Structure 1
Amino acid sequence: MKNVQPKWRITALLLALLLTAVLAAACGQADQNKDPEGQALETSAGAEEKEASGTKTVSTVFGDIEVPVAAKRIVADDYLGSLIALDAIPVGTPGLHLKNPYYIEALEGVEDIGDYGNASSEKIIALQPDLIITATNDDARFQQMNKIAPTIAIPYGELKNAHEELSYFGELLGLKEKADKWLSDYDKRIAAAKARVDEAIPADATFTIFERSDKAVWVYGDNFGRGGQPIYQALGRAPKAEVADEIMEKQWKELSMEILPEYAGDYLVVTVGSISEWNLQKFKEDPIWGSLEAVKQDRIYLWPEERSWYYDPIAVLAQTEELANWLAP
């Protein structure tokens, strides 16, 4: 007799072979969607599907975050200058930013969400944001905000200049053309200010960024406000060679009055709490400040903290032109 297999057995065998082929193909595709270290990669099809649904994935210091492609209601506790430059005005921000003299008019109608670095969760929730932008590097604070809305955290110092900031947020918010246009104008104005200063001030003249209070004196680098970005980045000036590496690496340092002359360059840009309380004459009368050649020769620029503390692209542009007007009147 012939060994005849029942039809149901033949059908089962064919189904098993088909299932094995499908599983093998799926495993092969999964391997293609991994990088050499085995990390899963988002396929272009997956990315297109997300964008079609109005979201995209952004890598941050706290992991991948899915955010809206075109956020409409942004709450930002930092990076206000970049958002304003892109016409992406937030619905809420800390009160400190609402007092920024460089763009106070642009934030008319924006809600105050509380103290800088400690904004009110209740106020943020009430604004119903679809995106939160922050400079925090505190995990607990990030997690708290990320429960309210998708949160992008860019810790302070990660974006080091106007180009990095505008390029980042232009990409994040889908406003790359606006970012490019703003930066083109920024570069032209910075170049014009620098040309004026280069013509008026010797190339080897040294600059120092100080801040004075009743309790201490600090020196600053090129990415910590107080005029560091305009002087060291935009205008391309430098501190004294013997302290330059220390200043740029640490970005700020508290000084004793005894060592102040070691850091003082040919030109001083100094933040004071109030110019009415500490004007040029007060510096000249002080035994240590008054001994500095820059002070003797009136090569010292004073500005109040509410103008020098800000370091966003809008503030840096305005500060650069302000300083250029002093150096090359």
Structure 2
Amino acid sequence: MKKILISFVLLIALVLGACSGGATENKESSDSNEKGSKTITYQSENGPVEVPAHPKRVVVLQSFAGNVMSLGVNLVGVDSWSKMNPRFEKGLKDVEEVSEENLEKIIELNPDLIIGLSTTKNIDKLKEIAPTVTYTYGKVDYLTQHVEIGKLLNKEKEAQAWVDDFKKRAEAAGKDIKAKIGEDTTVSVIENFDKQLYVFGDNWGRGTEILYQEMKLKMPEKVKEMALKDGYYALSLEVLPEFAGDYMVFSKNPDTDNSFQETDTYKNIPAVKNNHVLEVNAKEFYFNDPITLDLQLDYFVKSFLGN
């Protein structure tokens, strides 16, 4: 039961989202919905959905608040994980915290579009409040996910332009980093959550997409073996040294007991002894939206290259 709960929480915190591979029709049409006079047809993974051509009051129930914010679309409600993200604090200052359980609060916000995951509860009831689009976690890669949300918000060109630019910047940074630390140098990403240590694969937020997919830095063999398929792997402190790379990114939650860092087991890990541990604020690093990805990329460039 605990494993299921942790998996669910990690899923919600993630950054990698998912989505349909559909396209959006550019044709705008009349809409009888009083919240907007024009709509577009978005081809979601569950079929076509009539959504506002220019949404003004969006509610995001999981994961994608940063994607919407980066495209300049107004949010009126977001999930608790986004609301507690220091990186989002300014942009979400006047935005309400909501969940799929609190339908009355969502109704009060009068949204014209609701976005969530396929695991979101009360989807049928949410559809009665406003057009609702959900994405299945892991169905497409994280950058395609952003383009899909761009299609949904009628901002596909803006989303694709950011993706193209980001890939160039991340790839160039990866080449510079490998030239400095060595082609075969390994990097692992760990986190301490609910008194349990985790190591992550290449698509679970926390900078993993940048490090492994874009920069193509090497993952320790043990991490590749145990975490690559599911995205993460729970482990004990005793075996952490087996999963530690030459460099370790520690996604650290300041609200969690991190006393394991004071143990001899941890202190004797070569990356720790060599001062090759990059500590980041977990609350800022969970996701993989453009706002978070830009933060992560800048941090890695400064940390590895000193720029």
Question: Which TM class, normalised by the smaller chain length?
Answer: 0.7 to 0.9
Partners of 1:275 and 1:124 lie apart in 2 by 29
Structure 2 SS opposite 1:134: strand
Give, in angstroms, the shift of residue 278 of structure 1: 4.5
Match of 2:84 among 85, 94, 99: 99
Corresponding residue number in structure 2 for 1:320: 297
Corresponding residue number in structure 1 for 2:98: 114
Q: What whole-Å deviation, never above 9, does each CA across 1:10-31 have from its counterpart, x for those lacking one?
A: xxxxxxxxxxxxxxxxxxxxxx
Give, in angstroms, the shift of residue 137 of structure 1: 1.8
| Amino acid corresponding to residue 178 of structure 1 in structure 2 | E
For the aligned residue pairs, the C-alpha RMSD in angstroms reads: 2.7
Q: What whole-Å deviation, never above 9, does each CA across 1:238-262 have from its counterpart, x for those lacking one?
A: 2123441432111111112332222
TM alignment of 1:51-66, pairs within 5 A = 51-53=29-31, 54-66=38-50
TM-score where L is the length of structure 1: 0.74
Match of 1:127 among 109, 130, 133: 109
Corresponding residue number in structure 1 for 2:123: 142
Q: What whole-Å deviation, never above 9, does each CA across 1:87-142 have from its counterpart, x for those lacking one?
A: 112122234323322233223432x1335xx452111111211211112424x421
User: 2:54, 2:153 within 8 Å by CA — same for their partners in 1?
Assistant: yes
Give, in angstroms, the shift of residue 302 of structure 1: 1.4
Q: Sequence identity of aligned pairs in percent?
A: 28
Greater relative contact order structure (CA < 8 Å, 6+ sep): 2
Corresponding residue number in structure 1 for 2:17: none
Match of 2:286 among 294, 298, 309: 309
Q: What whole-Å deviation, never above 9, does each CA across 1:4-51 have from its counterpart, x for those lacking one?
A: xxxxxxxxxxxxxxxxxxxxxxxxxxxxxxxxxxxxxxxxxxx79873
TM-score where L is the length of structure 2: 0.79
Give, in angstroms, the shift of residue 177 of structure 1: 2.4
Q: Unpaired segments of 5 or more residues in structure 2?
A: 1-24, 32-37
Give, in angstroms, the shift of residue 277 of structure 1: 7.0
Q: Which has the larger radius of gyration?
A: 1
Q: Unpaired segments of 5 or more residues in structure 1?
A: 1-46
Give, in angstroms, the shift of residue 208 of structure 1: 1.0
Count residues in correspondence: 275
Partners of 1:68 and 1:255 lie apart in 2 by 45
Partners of 1:167 and 1:49 lie apart in 2 by 18
User: After the TM superposition, which of the residue ranges 81-90 and 257-266 deviates more from structure 2?
Assistant: 257-266
Bigger proportion of residues as helix: 1
- Residues 258 and 90 (structure 1 numbering): CA distance in 2 closer, same or farther, change over 3 Å? same
User: 1:275, 1:304 within 8 Å by CA — same for their partners in 2?
Assistant: no
